[in-house]
Amino acid sequence: MADILYLVSFLDGPAPSGEVANPCFEECLHLTLLPSFSIPDASLPEFRRLLNTLTPWFRPPVLFPTEEALFGPKQDIPVKKVASLAEGEDNCIHLYHRSVLEALHHLGGSVKEPHFTGGKFSPHVSYLDSWKPFSLDSVTLVHHREGFGRGIVNLANYYFGG
């Protein structure tokens, strides 16, 4: 299995591929589309090809904060839950999440904490000060490094279609 990976959307825009970002991306303004997961090394190229094909099929989601909540193991991380802005698109972000999750499972991958996925997926943004709507233009596949030199490496950015 490959190392720990995440699929996230950085609200301040994606960092260039290969760049080491914030030492802990949990501190960056982001929305997690797929929490920590692993996939067999041999399947990672196919998963990346799939993201490259799948993501442009989805229009950039326009989201708005709906309510404040506390997340995390100790329920001490303030977040704002978000939903789709456009009528009839409530499940757009959920559909993208489920499509990626299904592909991951099909390729032999697994999510570390599956109780945060599928029907229990609750899109939210940590450290968001504003209640204004915002859009996601891309998702980033990140490799979460642990130990010495801990941080994340952006493996690739995938852009939503128009």
Domain definitions of the chain by residue range: 5-159
Q: Which phi and psi (to 5°) does residue 125 adopt? A: -125, 130
Pick the CATH number of 5-159 from 3.40.50.300, 3.90.1140.10, 3.40.718.10, 3.40.50.800: 3.90.1140.10
pLDDT (mean) for 100-113? 94
- 77: part of which helix (H) or strand (E)? strand 77-84
Average model confidence (pLDDT) for the chain?
82
Task: For residue range 9-19, list pLDDT tens digits in order.
Answer: 888 776 666 65
pLDDT (mean) for 139-152? 68
| Residue 158 neighbours by CB under 8 Å, 6+ apart | 51, 52, 54, 55, 56, 138, 139, 140, 141
Radius of gyration over every alpha carbon of the chain, rounded to an integer in angstroms: 15
Cα–Cα dist 162/158, whole Å: 13
| pLDDT over 70 percentage in the chain | 80
Task: For residue range 26-46, list pLDDT tens digits in order.
Answer: 567 788 899 889 999 999 999
DSSP β-ladder status, 151-159 and 138-145 = antiparallel
